Structure 1
Amino acid sequence: MDLHLKIWFIVSLIPLVANLQHSVHATPEVPCLFIFGDSLADNGNNNYLSTIAKANYQPYGIDFSDGPTGRFCNGRTMSDIIGQRLGFDHFIPPFATARGRDILMGVNYASGGGGIRDETGMQLTLHKVGGYKIVTMGLGLIGCTPAEIAIYGTNGSTCVDTINNDVQLFNVKLKSLVDDLNNDMTDAKFTYVNVSGITSGGTFTAGLTVTNVPCCIVSSSTGLCVPNRVPCSNRSTYAFYDAFHSTESVNEFVAARAYNAQTTFDAYPIDIHGLAGL
């Protein structure tokens, strides 16, 4: 598996709402939120690791209140936005810096480059750590990322269709797995978010005018933003901030549909808001 595919292979794999009680935040729809995933959800865990997968420098974070924190985005990640929609008044802290009572509202374990293979992922038995409401985010359209288009070309299409066909196969299996888990684990509730479906069609592209090139100037070797170079000014019209990662505008769109489904295809069998209310 090449680096480009590995970085995108898990799209915020499992935001986990655990059944814990605390009194720090009285208003959120769920007591706490635990996040597992890769660079699409990383909010600073890779800052202290010996890796090239880092985003704690400008122009990352140009639209984020705290500047470049390690988020691979111009602003908030999907996980940030979902947390806000669930009612948390602070962003879920990264594992690298989570301390004290902050841990009671949840921890973000996502790490850029993380995956589901043993050498890149974290093995968890979710039902043994108290988790009972689990959201699995399907893969996005990897074949539409600037990185994959630059490598493979599109043969007249808008994306690399062979890669997106593989994405579809993975997502079908993941959705089926959600059914199996819901049947086998009666004390847990799983749901699947159809990221590739949400980001397909005219509704998604209506506000985007640039969907196949990154907003920032990227390194040819990593696909990440070149440090301290000025990015595009009209970031809300770009789908991708660098060669792999979506802009805050896209993250907002996907998170909104994941939280409150607009169609029956957005989430299965229930959206995040509905899951939180169970």
Structure 2
Amino acid sequence: MEVKCLLLLALFLLLGTHGGEAQPLVPAVMTFGDSSVDVGNNDYLKTIIKANFPPYGRDFKNQVPTGRFCNGKLATDITAETLGFESYAPAYLSPDASGKNLLIGANFASAGSGYYDHTALLYHAIPLSQQLEYFEEYQSKLAAVAGSSQAQSIINGSLYIISAGASDFVQNYYINPFLYKTQTADQFSDRLVGIFKNTVAQLYSMGARRIGVTSLPPLGCLPAAITLFGYGSSGCVSRLNSDAQNFNGKMNVTVDSLSKTYSDLKIAVFDIYTPLYDLVTSPQSQGFTEARRGCCGTGTVETTVLLCNPKSIGTCPNATTYVFWDAVHPSEAANQVLADSLLAEGINLVT
């Protein structure tokens, strides 16, 4: 709590003022990745991987399900607010995206997506490569609204967040015989990290200079993973957690290499693994009571329209003490903990 207060104080002091109003630390936030950061792009796709219906959004503003895979705010929502933004990041595919929204950033993420394009294609989601194409299109729209010079300044100064990889493993590798019988998890990790490296190179060439990438969470601690791969155990699946840690190690090495390759690039890994693992293994220490099940339904397998829907039986009345909202995604309360970690690790990106 003391560290959090000091961090918030530091951010407050860093926020500039103009006309009596605090100004964001960065001109915009651009987000790429999967369901952990999708704010509604999948609402406009023909896919079952959606969250634009109750009980999703139950604790969000006006209790509206927006397409966020959560009962309330995502970690990136909370992070953007702390950086000085009042508006939630707009979904890029939203037909009513305004010039104002363009000026505060955009969310290109798509639930079911990952570093490996085939993961997204399995679920009719937006592949990461397509998200980058949408970003290029966004730049043209931004220039039309703000002018070329101002648009370039926004693009260079914005914070870019990439959150992917979990879907590649849980929704593809572990259930796809073609993958797990032809390559080891270590080899698959190398493949994903290579795609990540190319993605950063592309973003850099398009003007990005502040990039934060999330690590993999403890995959073996997700309620759905325990149900599907735990063989009756109620504890985290160590094999899956080891795969996640191996991937995260490779990611750290790659980020260090990229920072040396591009001298004017600020890049950092946001460690999601440690704070979420701590929540799962010691929930009471941070005010949580349930870490084995999600709030929605039985909390063991439910996610998206598949069982987490208005007819889900057993959904908890209060998600504030649950680490997970559904069987895969953290609750808003847990996202607050993750956001605090993101801010602590990424403060150098915005200063």
State the AA in 1 paired with 2:334: V
State the AA in 2 paired with 1:109: F
2:240 matches 1:163: yes
Instruction: Return the TM-score normalized by structure 1.
Output: 0.82
Determine which of 232, 242, 245 is the counterpart of 2:316: 232
Counterpart in the other structure of 1:73? 70
2:114 matches 1:115: yes
How far the C-alpha of 1:209 sits from its partner, in A, is 1.2
5+ unaligned residues in a row in structure 2: which ranges? 1-17, 121-126, 133-201
Counterpart in the other structure of 1:3? none
Counterpart in the other structure of 1:58? 54
1-side partners of 2:88 and 2:295: how far apart? 25
Aligned residues between the structures:
244
2-side partners of 1:204 and 1:221: how far apart? 22
1-side partners of 2:271 and 2:299: how far apart? 30
Determine which of 256, 265, 289 is the counterpart of 1:188: 265
Determine which of 305, 330, 335 is the counterpart of 1:246: 330
2:113 matches 1:36: no
The structure where helix makes up a greater share of residues is 2
2:251 matches 1:174: yes
How far the C-alpha of 1:231 sits from its partner, in A, is 2.6
2-side partners of 1:40 and 1:138: how far apart? 12
State the AA in 1 paired with 2:223: P
5+ unaligned residues in a row in structure 1: which ranges? 1-22, 261-270
1:160-201 residue CA offsets vs partner (Å, 9 max, x unmatched):
110000000000011111101100011211001111112233
User: CA RMSD, aligned part only?
Assistant: 2.2
2-side partners of 1:164 and 1:128: how far apart? 34
Is the contact made by 2:226 and 2:234 (CA closer than 8 Å) also made in structure 1?
A: no
User: Matched residue of 1:163: which SS?
Assistant: helix
State the AA in 2 paired with 1:59: P
1:27-66 residue CA offsets vs partner (Å, 9 max, x unmatched):
1010111000111111110011110100000000000014
Counterpart in the other structure of 1:214? 294
Counterpart in the other structure of 1:140? 217
2-side partners of 1:258 and 1:174: how far apart? 16
Determine which of 270, 273, 276 is the counterpart of 2:347: 273
Instruction: Return the TM-score normalized by structure 2.
Output: 0.65
1:98-131 residue CA offsets vs partner (Å, 9 max, x unmatched):
3323111110011110100133232341112211
Counterpart in the other structure of 2:82? 85
Is the contact made by 1:86 and 1:273 (CA closer than 8 Å) also made in structure 2?
A: no
1:45-103 residue CA offsets vs partner (Å, 9 max, x unmatched):
00111101000000000000141000000000011111111111111111012332311
1-side partners of 2:40 and 2:298: how far apart? 20
2-side partners of 1:273 and 1:135: how far apart? 10
Worse overlay, 221-230 or 51-60? 221-230
Higher gyration radius (CA): 2
